[in-house]
Chain A
Amino acid sequence: MSLSLILAEDDPDIQLVARMALKRAGFAVRVVSNGLEAIDAVKANPPDVLLLDWMMPELDGLETCRRLRANAATANVPIIFLTAKSQESEIQRGLGLGAIGYITKPFDALKLGEQVKAVLAERT
């Protein structure tokens, strides 16, 4: 059974590439374009994992993460950041909000799926 995944990403090109890369790895992918949509999508149907961009309109990834973690209904959804923010402090900040992984852009399209699976596997 394929893992369900929500990709929150505002850049359509990256949406395309990431979706293809993840589908290739066997994920069932839903794509949203900002934090608010992500929260709605998670609430509507909690995925196995949420890939979250940081810089997004409406609600950024950090705040999205914070809100999801603050809500008991969504607190347990595993969140992995997928962002161009690659500074150590930024990574620590993202992980500090309760994300289980942090993948920096530009990601390796051929390994992205495996990386997500590895992070999920390590968690359990």
Chain B
Amino acid sequence: MTIRAKILGGLGLLAAMAMAESLLVIYVQRAITAADSEQARTADVLELHGQAWRALVVQKADRRAFLLSREPVLESRLPASEHAFDVAVAQIQGAVLDDEQRLRLERLVRLVDEWREQWPAVRASAALSAVPPAAIVDGVDQRFRPIEAVLVEFEDRQRVLADAARARAERVRSLAGTTMLFIPGLALVFMAGMAVAVGRLLLAPLTQLTDQASRIARREVTAVEQTDRADEIGILQNAFASMTESLRFREGELTHALRREQLLAMSQAEAAARAELANADLHAILDTVPVGLIIRDGQTGAIRLQNHAAVELWGQEPEDPQRRQERWARTRVRTRGGKELPQEAWPWRRALAGERIVGEEFEIEREDGVVIPTLVSAAPLRDGHGNVLGTVVAFQDIARLRELDRLKDEFVSIVSHELRTPLTSIRGSLQLVSADPDAVPDPDHRHLVDVALSNCERLIRIINDILDISKIEAGRMTLQPRPVTVADLVRTSVESVAAIAEAARVHIDTRIAADLPPVVVDPDRMVQVIVNLLSNAVKFTPQRSQVVVEAASRGNQVAIAVSDQGAGIPPEKLEQLFQKFHQVDSSASRRKGGTGLGLSIAKALAEQHGGTVEVSSVVGRGTTFTVLIPAASPLVAPRPVHLSSSSSSSIARPVPKRVLIVDDDDDFRLAVRRQLEAAGYLVVEARDGEAALHVARQTAPDVMTVDLMMPGMDGWELIERLAADAALATIPVIVVSAVADRAQPLRGAAATLSKPIDRDGLLREVSLALGGRRDATVLIAEDDADLRQVLAQSLVREGYRVVQAVDGEDALAVFDRENADVVVLDIRMPLLDGFGVIRRLRDSARGQRVPIVVVTGSDGEGRSEVRAMSLGANAYLAKPVDAANLARQIEQVLTARNET
């Protein structure tokens, strides 16, 4: 029920109440009036009765008096009293309602009528005068007595009636009073009820809602009960309740969200703290590692982060971009082999182009001329979309490592040499003895010689394998890859083991798939791999059984599988197979002369070729080793396999080198071809850059001579294209051109010759470019930058590794770091002059015996030379220094040192 209905209902109730009240008042009023009139009537009746009585009494008295006196006046008064009685009775009749009284009144009237009618007789009788007065009086009284009785009766009754009426009136009045009092009371009660109802129905919920609203305002949201009231309050309350509910829900959410926010903020703060800590750690680590690290912005090229080691290595980089440019322009980056790289090929530039560089060695010449052998790793930094944002480059100064490496090599080489020399005598002696059937007549003794010989052979193999493995592990096994056919590799390998296979009475079955792509491998090393597997297979397969070599394509690899029919290897032992000095059955393999290194070497060599060695075996059926090597493009032209040397064969001979002459001048090409062919080179030719690229891909030359001015693709572009092609980038290029400036070697060129060329110059450059480098390091200490450069270049051209120093102190530092084999020393230098350097070198352990070539300004008297020689210099040259003369001097002092 709606509030409106309730209010209307309330108002209706009020109206009804008022109506009822009015009716009640009217009724009471009426009742009072009725009671009053009754009272008045009864009183009137009593009064009239009295009048009637009095009239009768008067009449009786008159009648008696008349009878006694006979006074006519008296008689004449009689009608008046009669009339008075009649009037009164008539009035009484109109007023009497009580039936009993009415009957009494009728009786009275009747009696009175009778009394009146007796009058004439009485009068008449009394006139006889015979009647005594007393009798007359008695007579009158007698006759009046019934009337009087009725009168008394009537009066008594009337009095009772009057009393009753009065009492009733009294009662009505008092009742009315009570009623009248009761009505406002009722109204009050009703109003109070209404008030309570309003209060309970409207105000209380409203108050409650208001309360809750204000609580909500105070942010204390408590649940509001849903109600089943159907009115507006109910609706309001329910709406309010659902509002509160949703508020509470929202508040809950908010609280939750707030807590989450707080937690988030806390965890963010924590993360920030952790990040800060990690950052601090990172910086501490960065500044502690001995590797220089530089993060560079890709856009600006500016350094974003560098560590202590980087600053030590490079010094602070200038802020100014132009200074930076100048710095880069003076910096040189060379490959380990000494080939100068154009800036695009610098490791960090390659990283910026998206390449990852892992541990490549470079010779980096700083702007101050100091050359630092550096191990560089570099990677691009990318954003989420893969765009390169910058680069991270790690530099490691590996001068010390190089030194350690050198020492180790030296050690290994000395040990191997020291072992080889006595072994040579032992082996040779035993061989010569056992080869002469008459030398040892006793078969037992002959057997002993054979035992000694076979163990000698085994010792030699172990030494060779150890040398190989130490070289591989040091990463110093340099491959000389060239394109060859798999068939050639397999055939050469099978030939190598033919003798032992025959001795073991094992047949080697060769199956080579047709159309195998060529492979680019170091043939010596790949043959070594296959031979290792083959000789293993021959050893472990039973006599008169077969070893199968199978070569086939597998994806973009070539698989060469060697299978024996031996006892097989249990699966759990397969993993250890490639471990060094591991032998599945050591006694068996020792009997068979294994070294335990063959498989590790095979695997390492295969891996160095970008391939691997896999093994599968079935116990009782045999074992298959599979070498996987990447297939080369079918476009490359394979060359025949000539084993230059290998540990299995002790003989090496020079492999003819291939030279590609690129020049548009036919006569020039012919002249160069003759010179080179006379010197034992194979020669191929190309007339322009385009043809040169094609021929280079087909024939894989060992070195190229390139003319610059050519029609079509010229020499400059050709050199760029060669550098950009991974397969061709390693081919040394000698620029031979009329426009070439010998003093300014072209980037990407190993050497530069100007036309016309002399025969010796060409042959020297070609043989130098082919790796005829000397393994000596020359330190040039000279404060004049131009002279230093000229000397350095001439010595580099002679095949020396050159390091430079700009003053005396620098010279000592570079000497220590680079472990130079020869020092070329200017006498006049800042900080520490040449004499000081000689003295300090001779006082030091390492510098004590290093050959020193002194370069002096000509003072005409040779005093400097004398002083230098007396301090311990080995040779001197006077300025101006002739580069060829310097090279000769260096060679002499080096030879002298080697001989002592």
Q: Given the known A-B contacts A60-B899, A106-B460, are A17 and B424 also in contact in the complex, defined by CB atoms under 8 Å? A: yes
Whether A96 and B767, one on each chain, are in contact in the complex, defined by CB atoms closer than 8 angstroms, is yes
**Pair A86/B416 contact, Cβ less than 8 Å:** yes
Q: B426 to chain A: which residues have CB within 8 Å?
A: 106
CB-based contact B417/A14 at 8 Å: no
Q: A24-B432, A87-B413 are in contact. Are A105 and B420 (CB under 8 A)?
A: yes
Q: Is A104 interfacial (CB 8 A cutoff)?
A: yes
A85 touches B432 (CB 8 A): no
Q: Does B387 contact A (CB under 8 A)?
A: no
Complex contact B425–A91 (CB within 8 A) = no
Identity of the chain B residue whose Cβ is nearest the Cβ of A84 in the assembled complex:
B420
Q: Chain A 78-107, CB within 8 Å of chain B: the 1/0 string?
A: 000000111111111101100111111111
Contact assessment for A57 and B424 in the assembled complex, using a CB-CB cutoff below 8 Å: no
A83 to chain B, nearest CB (A): 8
Bound-state Cα–Cα, A124 to B432, Å:
30
Complex interface: stretch among B131-139, B280-288, B341-349, B650-658: B650-658
Q: Is B895 an interface residue (CB 8 A)?
A: yes
Which B490-510 residues have C-beta < 8 A from chain A? none
Taking CB atoms, residues of chain B closer than 8 Å to A14 are 421, 424-425, 428
CA of A18 to CA of B427, assembled, Å: 11
Q: Which of the residues B423, B425, B471, B652 comes within 8 Å of A103, measured between beta carbons?
A: B652
Most interface-central of B413, B429, B650 (chain A CB within 10 A) = B650
Distance of A55 from chain B, by nearest CB (Å) = 7
B177 surroundings in chain A (CB, below 8 A): none
Residue of A nearest to B774 (CB): A93
Name the CB-closest residue of B to A96: B772
In the complex, chain B residues whose CB is within 8 Å of the CB of A77: none
Asked whether A107 and B899 contact (CB < 8 A) given A84-B417, A86-B416, A96-B767, the answer is no
- Complex formed: what's the CA distance from A73 to B797 in Å? 27
Contact indicator per residue, chain B 750-788, by CB within 8 Å of chain A (1) or not (0):
000000000000000001001110010000000000000
Query: Across the interface, do B653 and A106 meet the contact criterion of CB distance under 8 Å?
Result: no
The contact size tier of chain A is 35 or more
Q: Are A18 and B417 in contact (CB under 8 A)?
A: no
Taken residue by residue from 56 to 90, chain A's Cβ proximity to chain B (1 for < 8 Å, 0 otherwise) reads as 01111001000000000000000000001111111
Bound Cα distance from A11 to B420, whole angstroms: 12
Nearest CB of chain A from residue B750's CB, rounded to whole Å = 15
B870 contacts partner chain A, Cβ-Cβ < 8 Å:
no
Please provide the chain B residues from 409 to 438 with a CB less than 8 Å away from any CB of chain A in the complex: 409, 413, 416-417, 420-429, 431-432, 435
List chain B residues, Cβ under 8 A from A108.
427, 431, 650
- Rounded to whole angstroms, the CA-CA distance of A92 and B424 in the bound complex is 22
A3 within 8 A of B: no
What's the least CB distance linking B652 to chain A, in Å?
Answer: 4
Chain A hits for B471, CB < 8 A? 87
B216 contacts A by Cβ under 8 Å? no
- Identify the interface centre among A60, A85, A105, A122: most chain B CB within 10 Å of its CB: A105
Report how far A13 CA is from B427 CA in the complex, Å: 11
- Which of the four size classes fits the interface of chain B? 35 or more
- Give chain A residues whose Cβ lies under 8 Å from the Cβ of B427: 106, 108-109
B645 within 8 A of A: yes
Would you give the shortest CB distance from B407 to chain A, in whole angstroms?
15
Contact A59 B653 (CB under 8 A): no
A41 at the A/B interface (Cβ < 8 Å)?
no
A32 contacts the other chain (Cβ, under 8 Å)?
A: no
Instruction: Judge whether B300 is part of the interface by a CB distance below 8 angstroms.
Output: no
Q: B-facing mask of A24-57, CB < 8 A → 1, else 0?
A: 1000000000000000000000000000000101
**B478 interface residue, CB < 8 Å from A?**
yes
Given A91-B652, A95-B653, A103-B650, also A84-B431 (CB < 8 A):
no
Whether A96 contacts B428 in the complex (CB less than 8 A), given A102-B651, A108-B650, comes out as no
Decide: A100 and B431 in contact? CB cutoff 8 A: no
Nearest residue (CB) in B for A92 is: B771
For A57, give the chain B residue with the smallest CB separation: B899
Which residues on A sit within 8 Å (CB–CB) of B420?
84, 86, 104-106
Q: Let me know if A11 and B645 touch, CB within 8 A.
A: no
B624-669, CB < 8 A from A: 644-645, 647, 650-654
On whether the beta carbons of B425 and A13 are closer than 8 Å, the reply is yes
Interface check B76, CB cutoff 8 A: no
Q: Distance (Å) between the CB of A51 and the closest chain B CB?
A: 12
Residues B425 and A60 in contact, CB atoms below 8 Å apart: no
- 1/0 contact trace for A105-117 toward B, CB 8 Å? 1111110000100
In the complex, the chain A residue whose C-beta lies closest to that of B655 is: A95
Q: Please tell me if the beta carbons of B435 and A110 are within 8 angstroms of each other in the complex.
A: yes
B651 touches A103 (CB 8 A): yes
What is the bound-complex CA distance between A122 and B422, given in angstroms? 30
B767 touches A109 (CB 8 A): no
Q: Is the pair A105, B421 in contact by a Cβ cutoff of 8 Å?
A: yes
Asked whether, in the complex, the Cβ of B428 is within 8 Å of the Cβ of A100, the reply is: no
Distance, CA A91 to CA B644, complexed state (A) = 9
Q: Which chain A residues lie closer than 8 Å to B898 at the CB level?
A: 60, 63
Does B653 contact A101, Cβ atoms closer than 8 Å? yes
Known: A21-B432, A88-B645, A106-B460. A95 touches B652 (CB 8 A): yes
In the complex, how many angstroms separate the beta carbon of B17 from the nearest chain A beta carbon? 129
Cα-based distance from A105 to B427 in the complex (angstroms)? 10
B653 partner residues in chain A, CB cutoff 8 A:
95, 100-102, 119, 122
Given contacts A105-B421, A107-B650, contact A17 B428 (CB under 8 A): yes
Q: B467 on the interface (CB 8 Å rule)?
A: yes
A87 CA / B775 CA spacing, docked (Å): 13
Q: Which chain A residues border B428 with CB–CB below 8 Å?
A: 14, 17-18, 20-21, 106-107, 109
23 contacts between A and B (CB under 8 A): A13-B425, A14-B421, A16-B425, A18-B428, A63-B899, A84-B424, A86-B464, A86-B647, A87-B409, A90-B413, A92-B771, A95-B654, A102-B651, A102-B653, A103-B652, A105-B421, A105-B423, A105-B424, A105-B650, A107-B428, A109-B429, A110-B432, A119-B651
Instruction: Point out residues on B near A: beta carbons under 8 Å.
Output: 409, 413, 416-417, 420-429, 431-432, 435, 456, 460, 464, 467, 471, 478, 644-645, 647, 650-654, 767, 770-772, 775, 895, 898-899
The 4 closest A-B pairs by CB, nearest first: A17-B428, A84-B420, A13-B425, A109-B428
Q: A63-B895, A109-B427 are in contact. List 13 more A-B contacts (CB 8 A).
A: A13-B429, A14-B428, A21-B431, A58-B899, A63-B898, A63-B899, A87-B409, A92-B771, A102-B653, A104-B420, A106-B420, A108-B431, A110-B431
